[in-house]
């Protein structure tokens, strides 16, 4: 351990976003399906959403003047890390139920872990964000863990 | 899905030409304003990339599509674990494919290894997909 992570940074573990509630529309599914090059008619017609459609539904919509110069929004769930260069990350997703037009879905994101490891060319910081998406009956629809690496 | 799955069975591959219009529509659909995907001078001169970078989650979508098209109405994807290891650039043609690694004929549970690779055979996005056949 190189002790990069201060108590202050680590104190952010467990922080949650406010729940974000969005409605699924047929048009949004169709646009997403066309843009991804899908060839399955059920998606192109918007009858049901393809996997990963939740990325579209819950991407933060923020005012242009709050984007950073490279066009990226600031994720307020994250503390200021001592390393900032983002490397490849990973996703681990479970699909519990299909998503259809007219569904109201609510996502909550939690910063579930922050840790460091020694990499080949120096220290690396890992962080994990859990996203849970539920329908209005409270049933789990999609759960997702994102792992990001900073160097 | 026509043939009964068996361990080691390769799924039909699909080539994707990484087109700039598709990148624009995909990132607009997400509301992703990251310049590396559409601002060529920024991507090359500021960030030092060799071209416009294909959005990482789009490669993830292509992993899903390999299994989803093969399953069609015979089952559904229940989970995926994947990572973006190497960038793809607009103008490249990449290939998505996969192989059945586990199959339980009684329950219909499937595990598949999936990939997107470039024409130099570098794996850009490896993944593992679980799926469930209807029983």
DSSP per-residue letters across B49-69: -SSPBPPHHHHHHHHHHHHHH
Joined together, the tokens standing for residue B3 give: 């043939």
Which residue in A70, A73, A143 has the most chain B C-beta atoms within 10 A of its own C-beta, making it the best mutation to test that interface?
A: A70
Query: What percent of chain B is modeled with pLDDT above 90?
Result: 96
Mean residue pLDDT across chain A: 94
Whether A31 and B22 lie within 8 Å, measured CB to CB: no
Q: What is the dihedral of CA A98, A103, A109, A113, to 10 degrees?
A: -10
Report all structural domains of chain B as residue ranges with CATH numbers, in order of start: 14-18+55-133 (3.10.129.10)
Distance CA B67, CA B76 (A): 9
With 0-12 / 13-18 / 19 or more C-beta atoms within 10 angstroms meaning exposed / middle / buried, residue B74 is middle
| Top-level class of domain A7-150 | alpha beta
Query: What percent of chain A is modeled with pLDDT above 70?
Result: 99
Distance from CA of B3 to the nearest CA of A (A): 19
Question: A58 or B2: whose pLDDT is higher?
Answer: A58
Distance CA A93, CA B80 (A): 5
With 0-12 / 13-18 / 19 or more C-beta atoms within 10 angstroms meaning exposed / middle / buried, residue B60 is buried
Distance CA A16, CA A130 (A): 9
Quick check: A1 pLDDT over 60?
no
Distance from CA of A147 to the nearest CA of B (A): 9
Quote the pLDDT of residue A128.
Answer: 97
Distance CA A19, CA A22 (A): 10
Closest CA to B76 of A133, A146, A45, A98: A98
Distance CA B52, CA B27 (A): 12
Q: Which residues of B touch A39 (CB under 8 A)?
A: 65, 69
Quote the pLDDT of residue B1.
Answer: 65
Quick check: B26 pLDDT over 80?
yes
Mean residue pLDDT across chain B: 95
- Under the banding of pLDDT at 50, 70 and 90, the label for residue B2 is low
3-state secondary structure (DSSP) of residue A110: strand
Quick check: A85 pLDDT over 90?
no
**Alpha carbon distances (Å) from A113 to A103, B23, B32, B82:** 30, 32, 25, 19
Quote the pLDDT of residue B3.
Answer: 66
Q: Which residues of A touch B20 (CB under 8 A)?
A: none
Residue-level length of chain B: 135
CB A117 within 8 Å of CB A124: yes
pTM of this prediction?
0.94
Closest CA to A21 of A141, A148, A129, A113: A141
Joined together, the tokens standing for residue A3 give: 């002790």
Chain A CB within 8 Å of residue B25 CB: yes
DSSP per-residue letters across A81-95: PS---EEEEEEEEEE
Question: Tens of pLDDT along A8-44?
Answer: 999 999 999 999 999 999 999 999 999 999 999 999 9
Chain B CB within 8 Å of residue A86 CB: no
Q: Which residues of B touch A49 (CB under 8 A)?
A: none
Quote the pLDDT of residue A86.
Answer: 81
């Amino acid at each position: 351990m190189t002790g990069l992570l201060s108590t202050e940074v680590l104190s952010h573990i467990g922080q949650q976003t406010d729940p974000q509630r969005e409605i699924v529309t047929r048009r949004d599914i169709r646009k997403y399906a066309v843009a991804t090059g899908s060839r399955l008619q059920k998606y192109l017609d918007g009858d049901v959403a393809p996997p990963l459609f939740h990325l579209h539904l819950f991407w933060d919509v923020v005012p242009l003047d709050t984007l950073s110069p490279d066009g990226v929004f600031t994720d307020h769930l994250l503390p200021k890390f001592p390393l900032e260069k983002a490397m490849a990350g990973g996703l681990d997703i479970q699909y519990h139920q299909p998503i259809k037009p007219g569904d109201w879905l609510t996502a909550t994101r939690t910063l579930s872990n922050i840790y460091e490891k020694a990499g080949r060319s120096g220290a690396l910081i890992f962080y994990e964000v859990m996203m849970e998406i539920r329908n209005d009956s409270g049933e789990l629809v999609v759960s997702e863990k994102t792992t990001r690496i900073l160097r | 899905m026509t043939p009964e799955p068996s361990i080691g069975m390769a799924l039909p591959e699909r080539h994707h030409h990484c087109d700039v219009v598709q990148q624009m529509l995909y990132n607009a659909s997400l509301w992703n304003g990251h310049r590396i995907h559409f601002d060529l001078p920024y991507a090359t001169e500021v960030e030092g990339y060799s071209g416009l970078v294909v959005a990482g989650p789009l490669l993830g979508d292509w992993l899903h599509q390999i299994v989803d098209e093969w399953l069609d109405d015979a089952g559904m994807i229940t989970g995926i674990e994947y990572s973006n290891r190497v960038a793809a650039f607009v103008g490249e043609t990449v290939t998505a494919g996969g192989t059945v690694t586990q199959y339980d004929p009684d329950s219909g549970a499937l595990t598949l290894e999936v990939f997107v690779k470039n024409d130099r055979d570098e794996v850009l996005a490896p993944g593992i997909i679980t799926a469930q056949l209807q029983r």
